[in-house]
Amino acid sequence: MSQREALVFYLLITPWVVGFLSFAFGPILAALGFSFAEYDVIRPPRFVGLANYAAMAGDPLFWQALKVTIGYTFTAVPLGIVASLFLATMLNQKVPALAFFRTVFYLPSVISGVAVSLLWLWLLNPAFGLINWAIYSLFGITGPKWLLSNEWVIPAFVLMSLWGVGGGLIIYLAALQSVPTELYEAASLDGANAWRRFRNVTLAMISPVVLFSFITGVIGSFQIVTQAYVMTGGGPHYASLFYGLYVFQNAFRYFKMGYASSLAWVLFLIVLGLTLLTFKVSSQFVHYQAGGAAR
């Protein structure tokens, strides 16, 4: 690379570097510093060491938020993967109006979080919501109170999460279309039925995509704020107090910026640990065309 090319390169990346340092890396370092301080925005930060982290052990809402988020994550993420893969498999067939159906299933995933939350507030309304109306019309039973019930509020959020399966559908559809057809032909010649072809060929070939979807799904589910803030505010009785919402409340409702920063860093460590564990376990079932199982 000539000196002129190098100069052009550095000039072109300067806006990104400035933006990253100002709006990403800088705030990350600031949050790390605030996590060791008592800071309410009005007064200057006061160093308190590990007091914020120690306070979590005795904070029942911290444990409640963690329980709610983990329960939601390991219900919604697998269901989302199964639903996306099922729809992608169906839409990978040669059927009439295929482009139309792909568009219809993908469109909901591009709608903003607030709009979706308001829509589902109406759908899940126990008095006149469309879902309870359908349950009563089809089965003759009264539907649950959904967002007003301690037992049904998380299932309601899980049901709502399936609204966005269209994003995963596009990824799985691309993965399915990249599977070599000769593998299916070889499996058929060996006497494999449709289920065995799906399990031993399709799932094996798209397993890296499944891994990617699971990891990104886990990361996203641990950062839910908008839906819970708009729809329940963490209620009823903290039954929908997601971890991200609890961080938001401490930072912008109670102005406990130091404690919120420590919660955010604990969240980072939890997500990092789950990601590394997933990569470790994935070596048993994730396969790549060129290199076999993941290492």
Domain CATH number, residue 264: 1.10.3720.10
pLDDT at residue 49, rounded to an integer: 94
pLDDT above 70: residue 280: yes
pLDDT interval class at 99 (50, 70, 90): confident
| Residue 129 within a domain | no
Please give the tally of structural domains in the chain.
1
| Residue 169 within a domain | yes
**Going by C-beta distance under 8 Å and a sequence separation of 6 or more, which residues neighbour residue 125?**
132, 146
| Residue 146 within a domain | no
Which residue has better confidence, 276 or 194? 276
| Residue 236 within a domain | yes
| Residue 6 within a domain | no
165-177 and 60-90 are packed helices; what angle lies between their axes, rounded to 10 degrees? 40
Rounded Cα distance, 87 and 79, in Å: 12
Rounded Cα distance, 224 and 267, in Å: 12
pLDDT above 80: residue 288: no
| Residue 11 within a domain | no
pLDDT tens digits for 177-220? 988 888 888 988 888 888 898 988 999 999 999 999 999 999 99
pLDDT at residue 294, rounded to an integer: 43
| Residue 34 within a domain | no
Rounded Cα distance, 171 and 147, in Å: 31
pLDDT at residue 295, rounded to an integer: 36
pLDDT tens digits for 1-47? 688 888 999 999 999 999 999 999 999 999 999 999 999 989 999 99
Average pLDDT over residues 89-114: 86
pLDDT at residue 283, rounded to an integer: 81
Average pLDDT over residues 150-160: 96
pLDDT above 60: residue 293: no
- What pTM was estimated for this model as a whole? 0.89
Q: Which residues pair with 47 in a beta bridge?
A: 37
Average pLDDT over residues 54-58: 95
pLDDT interval class at 289 (50, 70, 90): low
pLDDT tens digits for 105-134? 888 888 888 999 999 999 999 999 999 999
Average pLDDT over residues 142-171: 93
| Residue 8 within a domain | no
Rounded Cα distance, 181 and 204, in Å: 14
Provide the residue range defining the domain that includes 240. 53-116+157-293
In this structure, how many other beta carbons lie within 10 angstroms of the beta carbon of residue 175?
Answer: 21
pLDDT above 50: residue 60: yes
Rounded Cα distance, 228 and 117, in Å: 8
Average pLDDT over residues 95-114: 86
